[in-house]
């Protein structure tokens, strides 16, 4: 994991807010997927704020996007916000 990568988590009954900070690499992608798997039960919408990301490594982006199928059983709407949203969000909303 990028040593400076952090995820802030805020949750209410129907919404999960995640704020990403630092560099996003392959290990960071796996950490984000784990946080999603562990925290999405019972929520309808997940917002992933990318404003705190400094750099998105191509391997991290690819790892995240290629692993989203692991979440397809969850009935969530995944929304990416912030300056780096286009760099991490899947090109097509195949699952959400």
Q: Is the pLDDT of residue 96 over 70?
A: no
Please tell me the predicted confidence (pLDDT) of residue 2: 59
Q: How confident is the model at residue 67 (pLDDT cuts 50, 70, 90)?
A: very high
The pLDDT of residue 5 is 96
Contacts with 54 (C-beta within 8 Å, 6 or more apart), sequence order:
4, 22, 23
Nearest to 65 by CA among 47, 87, 41: 87
**Is the per-residue pLDDT at 3 higher than 80?**
no
Domains in the chain with CATH codes: 6-88 (3.30.750.24)
pLDDT digits (tens, 9 = 90+) for 46-65: 999 999 999 999 999 999 99
Please, are residues 51 and 88 in contact by the beta-carbon 8 Å criterion? no
| HSE-CB of 52 using CA atoms within 13 angstroms | 12
Task: Give percent of the chain with pLDDT exceeding 70.
Answer: 93
């Amino acid at each position: 994991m990028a040593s400076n990568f952090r995820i802030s988590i805020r949750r209410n009954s129907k919404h999960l807010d995640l704020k990403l900070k630092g560099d996003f690499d392959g290990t960071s992608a796996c950490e984000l997927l784990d946080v999603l798997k562990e925290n999405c039960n019972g929520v309808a919408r997940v917002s992933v704020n990318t404003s705190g990301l400094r750099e998105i490594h191509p391997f991290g982006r690819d790892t995240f996007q290629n692993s989203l199928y692991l979440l397809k059983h969850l009935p969530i709407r995944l929304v990416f916000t912030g300056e780096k949203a286009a760099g991490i969000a899947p090109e097509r909303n195949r699952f959400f």
